[in-house]
Amino acid sequence: MLEVEVNDFFEKLKENWKNKKIKAAMSAEVKESLIKECNEHYSLSHWLSYASNGAVKRALSSHPSKFTHPDVGASDTNIKKKTYVSPVIYLGVFENNGFLKTGNVIGVNLDSTGNGAEVGSIGEIGAFLSLTLADGRRFFEHLREDSEQAKKILSYCAEAYDDLKVGLLSMIKDVEPQTSSKIKQVYFPVDDDYHQLSLLTNSGMVYQLRSRLDKLRFSDEVKELRDKKRKNEFSEQGFSEIYGLTTIGYGGTKPQNISVLNNQNGGKAHLLSSLPPSIEKRSIHFPRSDFFTESFKKYEYADNFKALHKLFQTNYNNIKLRDARDRNLQQIINLLIEKMWAVRAVSQAQYHAETSSLSSVQMTWLHSDFADEREKSEQWLNLLITEISTWLTRSYEKVLDKKAIKLGDAERLHFAEVIERNREFLK
């Protein structure tokens, strides 16, 4: 009998594949054909052979160096460019001492880096290798030691066990430690040794934090309790609010170039505020009539629009130019999201219905009382995306004044496309 954890893993892969490929409008014959294709691909005999051949394309890692600097990594290209950083796999030791550290966060997935074009299917192989079995140890640990569980699982494939093992473990690069000056690690002298101050990012913990925060903010239970609070109804159970969150982006418009976990989360992670209490007067005010005109100063985004203007003036078009354009647009969107969170944090204290003329769309977007409605409906968000796109066009013309280039439909559509990529983070 197959390990329960392995069986559940493949059932989940099949379910995800079917949800992505099979549409309700398809005919019964097409659906049946796709289901057959899915079952054949994810049969252990076929999938293990495929995984053994594909694992070499990426490297399993708990602390991917690309989160520190995107130009480093563990691929053949990095070796040629002399930006190779040996991948780190550190699982830690579980110790229930209250600290947030590697080993104490149960269920954290290992990540993988390498060729960005391979993140989808190869990501499944990394997840399989880091799968935790019943004894609490990862599958790759069993495979390294030739345990009975590992031999039993790989026996479902017709290929020789040793060949499968070598192929799968090629995703774990057992090489001499090697670093790059690009990640600028800082060491502080302590006695006759050094203490490292700048750590590589544990991406599993980063996205475990995001998962827990999203559950804390958007679970059905919390939505119900928040609704009771809004209606002023009694409840014995309370709920928590997290203020001062910041969204950080990794990889810009190509999150797949950083890692599998980063791609799965759209390149966006949440950061908790670590600032000490402040008694300074707040500069954030809940808008009375319009968020865009009342919450932004021209100097906050002027440099980005000036940089965009230079790109618009070029008489050629290539990938570097388009990436630079998208980076500048994303920086403006990030500023907008940062302002959004700041305004939401003061919405309860500063909103006054009698003096407010804020539109229903912006009220839904910005006031904490409408958190549930933001999740239930998408109509307000569609209207908001149009407003943001208009604001981008208007702000560009305001900053550049007479020098501004007349933007056409293509530019406006691209503005909307970049905003659309941030749809989840505008909720």
Using the 8-state DSSP alphabet, how is residue 281 labeled? P
At residue 107, the pLDDT reads 63
- List the helix and strand counts (H, then E) for the chain: 19, 6
Q: What are phi and psi of 94, to 5 degrees?
A: -70, 130
- Residues 170 and 114: their CA atoms lie apart, in Å, by 13
C-alpha closest to that of 295 among 281, 308, 276, 282: 282
Task: Pull the structure tokens for residue 403.
Answer: 């020098």
| Strand bridging mode 187-190 / 268-271 | unpaired
- Which H or E run contains 393? helix 379-400
Using the 8-state DSSP alphabet, how is residue 60 labeled? E
At residue 99, the pLDDT reads 80
Q: Report CA 170 to chain centroid distance, whole Å.
A: 26
Report which residue type is found at 1: M
- Residues 110 and 31: their CA atoms lie apart, in Å, by 33
At residue 116, the pLDDT reads 61
Using the 8-state DSSP alphabet, how is residue 170 labeled? T
At 391-421, the pLDDT tens digits run 888 888 888 888 888 877 777 788 888 888 8
Report which residue type is found at 393: T
Contact call for residues 296 and 339 (beta carbons, < 8 A): yes
Long-range contacts of 81-85 (CB under 8 A, 24+ apart): 82/180, 83/180, 83/182, 84/178, 84/180, 85/178, 85/179, 85/180, 85/183
Contact call for residues 111 and 261 (beta carbons, < 8 A): yes
- Residues 302 and 398: their CA atoms lie apart, in Å, by 9
CA atoms within 13 A on the CB side of 374: 22
Cβ-proximal residues to 390 (8 Å cutoff; 6+ apart), any chain: none
Contact call for residues 131 and 77 (beta carbons, < 8 A): no
Kindly provide the b/e burial profile for residues 22-44, where b requires at least 16 CB atoms within 10 angstroms of the residue's own CB: eeeeeeeeeeeebeeebeeebeb
Residues found in the chain: 427
Q: What is the pTM of this model?
A: 0.59
- Residues 264 and 267: their CA atoms lie apart, in Å, by 8
Task: Pull the structure tokens for residue 97.
Answer: 């001492």
At residue 76, the pLDDT reads 79
- Residues 129 and 143: their CA atoms lie apart, in Å, by 9
Contact call for residues 188 and 194 (beta carbons, < 8 A): yes
Show the DSSP H helices in 273-378 as ranges.
Answer: 291-295, 298-313, 319-345, 347-350, 360-366, 371-376
Residues with pLDDT less than 50, the chain: none
- Residues 40 and 36: their CA atoms lie apart, in Å, by 6
At residue 267, the pLDDT reads 92
Cβ-proximal residues to 144 (8 Å cutoff; 6+ apart), any chain: 169
Query: Looking up tokens 């790109």, which residue turns up?
Result: 311
C-alpha closest to that of 269 among 95, 425, 84: 425
